[in-house]
Amino acid sequence: MNRGVDTIVVQATALTAAAFEPFGDVIETTGHRPRPINEGTCLRYDDLAQVDVLEHGGRPLISLFEAAPRPLPLPIRSLERHPLSSQAFYPLDGRPFLIVVAEDGPPPWAGRIRAFLSSGAQGVNYRRNTWHHPLIAIGAASRFLVVDRGDADGNCEQTSVDDAVVLATTG
Amino acid sequence: MNRGVDTIVVQATALTAAAFEPFGDVIETTGHRPRPINEGTCLRYDDLAQVDVLEHGGRPLISLFEAAPRPLPLPIRSLERHPLSSQAFYPLDGRPFLIVVAEDGPPPWAGRIRAFLSSGAQGVNYRRNTWHHPLIAIGAASRFLVVDRGDADGNCEQTSVDDAVVLATTG
């Protein structure tokens, strides 16, 4: 990694639905009005993500991920996207995690890379074709529930990020 | 509620894939072989539940539930089932919760009602048409991620349980 003068440091900002809108959904209760169910013993925050996995006969998968924490600062060397499906991640240990996404376009990537910090009570759902970095747990091993279409052929594109971009600690 | 001599007490047993098989899937890492992804930084336990939500143009929903704890012993007065879809629940606070299900058939229900205790690192996916009790959080308010088809017309049947059945504390 080039840690020279040209290194571009991306700082994460708090994950909000408004800031993440170009990339997908934030799965959270904040900003959503629940409805009471089960004789008032439960609040349902309904339909928080656009699950888009049915293209070409796809079906929704529920999977569990166990992610090792990444050291920070983290070089951003590649991104991936799924042309056939959305992909949702929700943290199961209440731990914050980092989300790196980029708007599509020709190189250089640096100016288009954005980073967000989940509170630990927020998941994300990447919209189909959103460039994103593989899962970035921080601090400790973290579990996630994932709803996607699986890794079927043709559903994962990868691109290298040749710019010297590092994801920094937040704040 | 009839708390007389005829009251039938259902004790919960530990949730296992084998015991729950007639009713649906246990969403857990136990018993599943993961595959490494993301350059070995993550383990993926893939496709842990049969998400069955597409009947009659249905689509998968991701929702969050906040459930108040139920007092125990809990009278089991009604059950519900979804004829058009599966319904998956995964606990987000690592807290154990109770699952009450029943095999289909004519009354009386008592002999067919089963109760299971999730470890807090186990979710369940009710198979389509599995009779189940609404969500039973215990001990403290608990959050769940839910994957289902929503409450579309015709997708929720309810039945009363006239037998005096109570769900007891475990152990």
Q: Is the pLDDT of residue A54 over 80?
A: yes
d(CA B48, CA B125): 9
Confidence class for position A151, pLDDT limits 50, 70, 90: low
- Interface confidence, given as ipTM, is 0.94
Region B2-13 average pLDDT: 75
Given this model, what pLDDT does residue B7 score? 86
Amino acid at A16: T
CA separation (Å) from B165 to A144, B78, B109, B116? 36, 10, 9, 15
**Is 90 exceeded by the pLDDT of residue B131?**
yes
**What rounded mean pLDDT belongs to chain A?**
92
Token pair recorded at residue A10: 């991306």
* Of B87, B171, B90, B99, nearest in space to B138 by CA: B99
Please check the confidence at residue A91 and state whether its pLDDT lies above 90. yes
In 3D space, the residue among A64, A68, A41 whose CA is nearest the CA of residue B145 turns out to be A64
Q: How many CB pairs under 8 A join A and B?
A: 130
The yes-or-no verdict on residue B5 having pLDDT over 70 is no
Residue A59: list chain B partners with CB under 8 A. 51, 54
Is 60 exceeded by the pLDDT of residue B144?
Answer: yes
Cα-to-chain-centroid distance, residue B49: 13
The band of A110, judged by pLDDT with boundaries at 50, 70 and 90, is confident
Could you tell me which of A35, A169, A5 has the C-alpha nearest to residue A98?
A169
Which residue among B46, B63, B90 sits closest to A61, beta carbon to beta carbon? B46
Q: Does A157 touch chain B (CB under 8 A)?
A: no
Per-residue pLDDT at A5 exceeds 70: no
B99 vs B111 pLDDT, higher one: B99
- Of A11-15, A68-72, A108-112, B46-50, the one with minimum mean pLDDT is A108-112
Tell me if chain A has a CB within 8 Å of the CB of B53. Answer: yes
A14-29 core/surface letters (b: 16 or more CB in 10 A; e: else): ebebeebeebbbbbbb
Going by pLDDT thresholds of 50, 70 and 90, the confidence category of residue B3 is: very low
Q: What is the pLDDT of residues B56-110, one digit of tens each?
A: 888 999 999 999 999 999 999 999 999 999 999 999 999 999 999 999 998 889 8
Checking if the pLDDT of B136 tops 90, the result is yes
Q: Which of B29, B41, B67 sits opposite A67 (nearest CB)?
A: B41
**Distance, in angstroms, between A71 CA and closest chain B CA?**
11
Taking alpha carbons only, the member of A70, A57, A69, A83 closest to residue A140 is A69
Contact B59, B66 (CB under 8 A): no
Determine, for residues B28 and A64 on separate chains, whether the beta-carbon distance falls below 8 Å: yes
Answer whether residue A167 shows pLDDT above 80.
yes
Q: Residue B36 — very low, low, confident or very high, per pLDDT cuts 50/70/90?
A: very high
Query: Does residue B127 have a pLDDT over 90?
Result: yes
Arithmetic mean of pLDDT, B110-120: 94
> pLDDT at residue A170 above 70?
no
Q: What is the mean pLDDT of chain B?
A: 92
Question: Percent of chain A having pLDDT more than 70?
Answer: 94
